[in-house]
Structure 1
Amino acid sequence: MTETIFAPKTLVELDPKELSQFNPFIKLVHNQKIVQIPELTLESGLTLRNFPIAYKTWGKLNAKKDNCLVICHALTGSSDVADWWGPLLGKDKAFDPTRYFIICLNSMGSPYGSFSPLSVNEETGRSYGPEFPLCTVRDDVRAHKIVLDYLGVKSIACVVGGSMGGMLALEWTTMFNKKYVRNLVALATSARHSAWCISWSEAQRQSVYSDPKYLDGFYSLDDPPTAGLSAARMAALLTYRSRNSFEKKFSRRQPSKQQENKSKKNSITNESITEINRSSPITINERSLNIHNDGMRRNYGNSLSPPSINRTTNGRMGSVISTHSNDSQASSSSTSSNDSLHSVSSVSSITGEVTDLKPAQTYFSAQSYLRYQGTKFVNRFDANCYIAITRKLDTHDLARDRSIDGYDEDMNKILNSIKQPTLVIGISSDGLFTYSEQEFLAEHIPNSILEKIESPEGHDAFLLEFELINRLMIQFMKKNIPEIMNAKPLITATDEEMETTYPKDSVFGEAEEVTNW
């Protein structure tokens, strides 16, 4: 099947600096371009007008304009492939800018430049926020096709994507025939979003909703629901890895000083709390409060302490009377209670004798890592965008509203209609997009091969096992796109000049290597 999408020959290019006045996250992506799409009717029937799509390119088109390599990003990725899939990008690598015209287009709902809840609604003069319309994976492909037409692309040599990116890649090959999209590489993805994945998305959205600052999505960017979004990110990270991966890397170890410094560098409050803990006396009740609430995100205004508490409990459960002044301690974002692991000399509330309190260890390296990632994430992502893009995942279903040979929404028939040579890559330990889902794709796509990555890293292996993935892709491309792989390089610039150098610290990547955490 092939969809016809009418696109203008020229598109208006927008100024990213101007757009960043309303959306600060755009500034995180360097040297991307943003164009304005004049009109697109979404699957829902709603027609959008004058909305932005962001993209970044490497290399150049050949004379036939058929050497385009479309790379689709994952859930919270950006158009900057060098950031999150950098080891695959460069001369003689799978994504070779000397041979291919490489493009990554930012999906709608993402905060990094494309149409999203942070975009300004021309009718109201303010950001869409929670009123942002539902956009599907299929809508993304339609919008991105308009940009490719504008850039002069005649056909796509190969479309590549993992996780959510794999959903887009599958939609490309379902919407367009082999003449336009010639090859497909899909990693750790699915033909439709499973009940398991939908449930995890829901749990993460509920984390955001439960934050008092969420305000039904009408929050200010100056005071967003960071606690809820951080908790959602922590939950997501657990689905991206495997149990054995966490056990191997973290076990029950305490964070090192280096790890603690990395966690604290994103938060002035952390340093303030730590300094107070070192310098101020602390009661038994305050110490227990710190242990109990360690890691809780709470805002006490200008004070680091909770409001005064006068609590009396009578009866068989015993009696506890405590009052907290402004000198008391409270945990806050990413706060660690290393001090709670130390013995405390104090007066026993029962005997009046001086005792040494030695509480069991309650703060571990795994917690430190999750808190660090939660803090890092809220500094680069928007809560409404997270809700919008996870809902997009939930809508993914290749068979939805499609009919083949008189069979309505028959997934087997839909996959069988994909005629492009296809490489499906699955991960043995993936608990989110299971290996069985990759087997299902390969079984029903006629011209496909299935490769299995034996890795303990779970779903994130598609962003970590670079060497193997690079080799599998190059083998596939040499077999199915020999005219491009064997052609003379189109450009001779260095990787640095082509912006293909992998950054030391990833900004947008779904995964961050934690071997040394």
Structure 2
Amino acid sequence: MNLNSPLLEIEDKSRVFHYEDRYLLESGEDLAGFQIAYTIYGNPEALDSHVIWINHALTGNADVHEWWSGLVGEDKFYDPKQYKIICTNLLGSCYGSTNPLSSNPETGKPYFYQFPQLTTRDMAGALEKLREHLGVEHIHTLVGGSLGGQVALEWTYQLGSRLDYSIIIAANAKSTPWIRGFNEAQRMAIQADCTWGEEIAEAGKSGLRAARAIGMLTYRHPDTFQQSQDDMEEKLDNYKVSSYLQYQGKKLADRFHALSYWVLTKAMDSHDLGRGRGGTERALQGIKAKMLTVGIDTDQLFRKEESQYISENCLDGKYSEISSSYGHDAFLIEYEQLHYILKSFYLYTENGK
């Protein structure tokens, strides 16, 4: 089979997987079934040896070729003419997967604040249910950044020898007090919204705007703000950075909802690969896939040392670094560097290094 043939039709289909059985969660709670929205993009004839599975970050969706267009797309690094590319909307997110605004099958009403606590391990387990449903016996490469990287690392451990390559970008093996602190500050902003607690879809919307503004201070580096938001003229109010953060807050609140944001940041806080497995070092040593971790030199949220820690403790790990003034968000921006890093990693491993 010639995977590079221009005659092959390229699939780009959004689908929904329905899991009908009761799904037990780490908290001891359960979901009476769930659904996950996912997209298959690429060569419909591709073998499992050409399956690329990509996880999105905190507020992303399953349309990976939209938010990672520099790496996924025709004639890009992950080319749908060569690969079958699968991307899912993580459990708890509001882009087609079961989330707090979904109907609870047991009551017929939205979950709202009764939605159970999710962990990154629960999210990875849901992806495993989807893999089994799709009949994908083996995955060539699993990729994830930020929250998606945390979930990808959890799933890497669970997949064992069913996975060849794991690429974890700007993530860690266990959430730090620093990350949990920023997430708590964002949730406090949501709680301060007078609509929080009401059983309406718009609950916490103004608070979510403030939460996003707080988050933006961790997604970028101070140098980025200095370069793009500094006021050249003298003034006493109405600074550029104020309007920028107001805009970013409104932009997210108009496309996302506070209840999902709450659940997903709580899941990020819960992340601990070593929980119940003898600690993170021991868990990392149990990973069978070839591991690449990518840190960002200016990342203030997921520090590069945390990425290094993962690769150093895996049996077959390699670390690479993005140099950028963009901070944590660099993995969504610095495509040329990522292209070089990914290409070098595959060549490195294929040569038996």
Work out whether the TM-score is over 0.5: yes
Asked if 1:376 is matched to 2:245, the reply is no
Task: Tell me which residue corresponds to 2:18.
Answer: 36
Task: Tell me which residue corresponds to 1:202.
Answer: 184
Asked if 1:79 is matched to 2:59, the reply is no
Please, which of 83, 100, 104 is the counterpart of residue 100 of structure 1?
Answer: 83
Task: Tell me which residue corresponds to 2:217.
Answer: 238
Task: Tell me which residue corresponds to 1:46.
Answer: 29
Task: Tell me which residue corresponds to 1:512.
Answer: none
* Equivalence map 1:23-422=2 (5 Å): 32-39=14-21, 40-60=23-43, 62=45, 64-178=47-161, 180-214=162-196, 216=197, 218-221=198-201, 223-253=202-232, 360-402=235-277, 409-422=278-291
Instruction: Give unmatched runs, 5+ long, in structure 2.
Output: 1-11
Q: What is the CA-CA distance between 1:241 and the residue it aligns to?
A: 0.5
SS in 2 for 1:192: coil
Distance in 2 of aligned mates of 1:399 and 1:62: 37
SS in 1 for 2:49: coil
Task: Tell me which residue corresponds to 2:346.
Answer: 477
Instruction: Say if 1:129 and 1:253 are closer, same or farther in 2 by CA, change over 3 A.
Output: farther
Residue type of the partner of 1:220? Answer: I
Asked if 1:433 is matched to 2:298, the reply is no
Q: What is the CA-CA distance between 1:425 and the residue it aligns to?
A: 0.8
Q: What is the CA-CA distance between 1:480 and the residue it aligns to?
A: 4.2
SS in 1 for 2:20: strand
Distance in 1 of aligned mates of 2:326 and 2:305: 17
Distance in 2 of aligned mates of 1:204 and 1:191: 22
Task: Tell me which residue corresponds to 2:8.
Answer: none
Contact 1:424 1:451 in 2 (8 A): yes
Q: What is the CA-CA distance between 1:475 and the residue it aligns to?
A: 2.9
Q: Deviations over 1:436-490 (max 9, x none)?
A: 11121121112111111111111111111011102211332345479xxxxxxxx
Relative contact order higher in (CA < 8 Å, ≥ 6 apart):
1
Q: What is the CA-CA distance between 1:64 and the residue it aligns to?
A: 4.2
Contact 1:425 1:453 in 2 (8 A): yes
Contact 1:183 1:480 in 2 (8 A): no
Contact 2:30 2:116 in 1 (8 A): no
Q: What is the CA-CA distance between 1:226 and the residue it aligns to?
A: 2.1
Distance in 2 of aligned mates of 1:62 and 1:157: 15
Instruction: Give unmatched runs, 5+ long, in structure 1.
Output: 1-29, 255-340, 342-359, 403-408, 483-517
Contact 2:32 2:106 in 1 (8 A): no
Q: What is the CA-CA distance between 1:136 and the residue it aligns to?
A: 1.2
Task: Tell me which residue corresponds to 2:5.
Answer: none
Distance in 2 of aligned mates of 1:245 and 1:187: 20
SS in 1 for 2:92: coil
Q: What is the CA-CA distance between 1:144 and the residue it aligns to?
A: 1.3
Q: Which has the higher helix share?
A: 2
Distance in 1 of aligned mates of 2:318 and 2:34: 38
SS in 2 for 1:189: coil
Q: What is the CA-CA distance between 1:62 and the residue it aligns to?
A: 4.4
Distance in 2 of aligned mates of 1:82 and 1:367: 31
Number of matched residues? 339
Q: What is the CA-CA distance between 1:63 and the residue it aligns to?
A: 6.3
Contact 2:46 2:83 in 1 (8 A): no
Residue type of the partner of 2:186? Answer: Q
Q: What is the CA-CA distance between 1:429 and the residue it aligns to?
A: 0.6
Q: TM-score, normalised by structure 2?
A: 0.91
SS in 2 for 1:147: helix
Distance in 2 of aligned mates of 1:92 and 1:185: 21
Residue type of the partner of 1:449? Answer: K
Q: Percent identity?
A: 37
Task: Tell me which residue corresponds to 2:321.
Answer: 452
Distance in 2 of aligned mates of 1:103 and 1:168: 15
Moved over 4 A (4+): 61-64, 478-482
Distance in 2 of aligned mates of 1:63 and 1:103: 12
Contact 1:253 1:365 in 2 (8 A): no
Contact 1:183 1:420 in 2 (8 A): yes
Task: Tell me which residue corresponds to 2:9.
Answer: none
